[in-house]
Chain A
Amino acid sequence: MSNPAEILIIDDEVQMRKLLEITLQTNDYSVSKAATAKEGIIMAANHPPDMIILDLGLPDEDGHSVLQKLREWYTNPVIILSVLNNEEDIVNALDAGANDYLTKPFRTGELLARMRTALRGAFTEENNPVLSYNDLQIDLSARTVKRNNELIKLTATEYALLATFAKNEGRVLTHQYLLREVWGPGFINQTQYLRVFIAQLRKKLENDPNRPEYFVTESGIGYRFVFKE
């Protein structure tokens, strides 16, 4: 890459910083590191990076408040690192503007995939109206879905849900986000709608609805639409 993306790592554990630095440098990213929230915020302000990897468990300040401060002006992607069994923390961070998350311990391959997705711009009706993968073709401008070149009939809600997923391909979307986008702000706790419509989309679009490849469950958090590997 001629102009490598600059990544700022904010993590208090020296081992984690080392591991992330080696992983990212090996993959041609340029890396800067901060060990505290204070240091991280100053570094981000002095020289805004293309992406921030933020650990939620920092010693000097709560990760959520760091994220909030960053999001007041910082618009590039933020990926958060958290410990397992803390879905609530993760959901809160995603709702507060984090682009994606990883739980420690994580596979570095996973980290790199999340980073690529976050750095890539979102799909929209204008810039990339047709998404296709394997036998599936989603045309956002024509509002059609084809499987093996055959038109798949979707209900209005099913299509709205699919379009929300397609525009955010590869990104984790929280239950609340999906419910708000597709059904409206009054429905953010009606997770049963989401369960039913995800099952319907899987039935119509997945090769094996019980072993989904496209609509992946992120347990306790939401769903991720995976269309490209």
Chain B
Amino acid sequence: MVELFINKFSKTKQYLYSILLIFLVAGICFIFSGYIGYRVVAFILLVTVSLIAMFFDILPVLAAALMSALIWDYFFIPPHFTLQVATTDDSILLLMYFVIASVNAVLTYKIRQIEKVAMQKEEKANTVKLYNTILNSLSHELRTPIAAIIGATDNLQNHNEKLTQNNRYELVKEISKASFRLNQQVENLLNMSRLESGIIQPKKDWCDIIEVIYDVVKRIEENGISQKINININPAIPLFKLDKGMLEQVIYNLVNNAAIYTDATCIINIIAICHADVLQIIIEDNGKGFIPDEITHVFDKFYRLKNTKTGGTGLGLSIVKGFTEAMGGSIYLENLSTGGARFTINIVAETSYQKNIKNE
């Protein structure tokens, strides 16, 4: 925050504001000089210089230190309105005033420099840590299916005559499964890099939410899941102008996640509601829910929940958040009091009601 404050002011402005502040404080002290002694004024000015040191660069602060020493000498130390100092005590005080103010400026500046270096170091360490997490997760998620493919093809090529018909069939099935897994991961990575590039622009077109949701559910059911999926949408829900591809990906990732990470007997509910011009989509399950401490992290890139099974890159939910926000929407995750998790998406979009279109 302090850094921000400094960056807001140019060098020239920092000089100007330091000097002005000194003059202002000195002026107020001068008005009340009948009530307070001139030595107290020295302390008030010293506090002012210290405060300036907290926010501004070293040179403007040193200028303020020098300026305040001169002002104190000229206006406050007897004899007034002259730079002369009457007593030895006051000479020593004036010298010490200047030294303390300068030391103050230099020390504050040094502390800030050290803080800056430490922050950069920490940032770098975090980047390295994230990079390692990405590498580990990616190399695992990409290499496992590749290993399966290479192993299976090796077997088929080198031991073809020794393999039973059934084993041959099993190996081919493994190759197929591994390929689809690879394809899924590559798609996630491509979506992530689309988001990262920052050039992602939603292509808005009229979407039939009922069609979108049923299509996604059909695709997920074709993967062979055992959970029951309930869909609850009012048939009179209007069309929404949204990026259909993004919306599909968001719903797919959420429902697919629910299917992967809940028990086979769980139930997944998908609800779509229209509130004025807001499309609300709720995807909830009656599984175990999320560990409360982890809820704030689930949308982080490459974040994998502790103790979860392998099979993801930690990209699914960050893509969900990225796409939802790219469409101008928001997403919220909560645990249900009855157990299970609920994702709520709200997107403001143009709507079109069927009854206004049937024009024949």
Inter-subunit contact A219/B215 (CB<8 Å): yes
Q: Which of B205, B215, B231, B357 contacts A196 (CB 8 A)?
A: B357
Q: How far is the CB of A114 from chain B (nearest CB, A)?
A: 19
Chain B residues near A210 (CB-CB < 8 A): 210, 214, 231
Interface positions, chain B 173-215, Cβ under 8 Å from A, are 179, 183, 187, 190, 205-208, 210-211, 214-215
Bound form: Cα–Cα A72–B219 in Å: 39
Chain B residues near A85 (CB-CB < 8 A): 187, 190, 245
Bound form: Cα–Cα A155–B359 in Å: 11
Inter-subunit contact B360/A156 (CB<8 Å): yes
Interface of B is mostly: helix
Bound form: Cα–Cα A85–B249 in Å: 11
Chain B residues near A220 (CB-CB < 8 A): 244-245
Bound form: Cα–Cα A198–B212 in Å: 13
Bound form: Cα–Cα A191–B350 in Å: 14
Number of A-B residue pairs, CB cutoff 8 Å, is: 45
Bound form: Cα–Cα A196–B237 in Å: 11
Q: Which of A87, A155, A157, A195 contacts B208 (CB 8 A)?
A: A195
* B-contact 0/1 string along A209-224, CB 8 Å cutoff: 0110000010110000
| B248 interface residue (CB < 8 Å to A) | yes
Contacts A196-B357, A199-B211; A219 near B205 (Cβ below 8 A): no
* A-contact 0/1 string along B212-231, CB 8 Å cutoff: 00110010000000000001
Interface positions, chain B 230-267, Cβ under 8 Å from A, are 231, 239, 244-245, 248
Inter-subunit contact A199/B360 (CB<8 Å): no
Contacts A192-B352, A196-B354; A217 near B211 (Cβ below 8 A): yes
| A186 interface residue (CB < 8 Å to B) | no
| A109 interface residue (CB < 8 Å to B) | no
| B8 interface residue (CB < 8 Å to A) | no
A–B pairs, 12, beta carbons within 8 Å = A85-B190, A85-B245, A87-B245, A192-B357, A193-B357, A195-B206, A195-B211, A199-B211, A211-B218, A217-B215, A219-B248, A220-B245
* A-contact 0/1 string along B342-360, CB 8 Å cutoff: 0000000000101001101
- Nearest chain-A residue to B180 (Cβ)? A105
Inter-subunit contact B206/A191 (CB<8 Å): yes
Contacts A196-B354, A211-B214; A219 near B245 (Cβ below 8 A): yes
Q: How far is the CB of A221 from chain B (nearest CB, A)?
A: 11
Q: How far is the CB of B149 from chain A (nearest CB, A)?
A: 13
| A5 interface residue (CB < 8 Å to B) | no
Contacts A156-B360, A196-B354; A191 near B205 (Cβ below 8 A): yes
Interface positions, chain B 143-190, Cβ under 8 Å from A, are 179, 183, 187, 190
Bound form: Cα–Cα A206–B211 in Å: 13
Chain B residues near A156 (CB-CB < 8 A): 360
Bound form: Cα–Cα A217–B190 in Å: 23
Bound form: Cα–Cα A226–B207 in Å: 21
Q: A199-B210, A217-B215 are in contact. List 17 more A-B contacts (CB 8 A).
A: A85-B245, A105-B183, A155-B360, A157-B360, A191-B205, A191-B206, A192-B352, A192-B357, A195-B206, A195-B208, A195-B211, A196-B239, A198-B208, A210-B231, A217-B211, A219-B245, A220-B245
Contacts A85-B190, A156-B360; A195 near B248 (Cβ below 8 A): no
| A84 interface residue (CB < 8 Å to B) | yes
Interface size on B, residues (CB 8 A): 23
Residues of A at the B interface (CB closer than 8 Å) are 84-85, 87, 105, 155-157, 191-193, 195-196, 198-199, 210-211, 217, 219-220
Bound form: Cα–Cα A32–B187 in Å: 32
Bound form: Cα–Cα A60–B95 in Å: 81
Chain A residues near B205 (CB-CB < 8 A): 191
Residues of B at the A interface (CB closer than 8 Å) are 179, 183, 187, 190, 205-208, 210-211, 214-215, 218, 231, 239, 244-245, 248, 352, 354, 357-358, 360
Inter-subunit contact A195/B360 (CB<8 Å): no
Q: How far is the CB of A21 from chain B (nearest CB, A)?
A: 19
Chain B residues near A196 (CB-CB < 8 A): 239, 354, 357-358
Chain A residues near B357 (CB-CB < 8 A): 192-193, 196
A-B CB proximity, top 9 nearest: A192-B206, A195-B208, A210-B214, A191-B206, A192-B352, A196-B357, A196-B354, A192-B239, A195-B206
- Nearest chain-B residue to A84 (Cβ)? B187
Bound form: Cα–Cα A220–B206 in Å: 11
Inter-subunit contact B207/A195 (CB<8 Å): yes
Inter-subunit contact A195/B239 (CB<8 Å): yes
Bound form: Cα–Cα A155–B360 in Å: 8
- Nearest chain-B residue to A195 (Cβ)? B208
Which of A105, A192, A193 gathers most chain B CB within 10 Å?
A192
Q: How far is the CB of A159 from chain B (nearest CB, A)?
A: 11
Q: How far is the CB of A2 from chain B (nearest CB, A)?
A: 32
Chain A residues near B231 (CB-CB < 8 A): 210
Chain A residues near B354 (CB-CB < 8 A): 196, 199
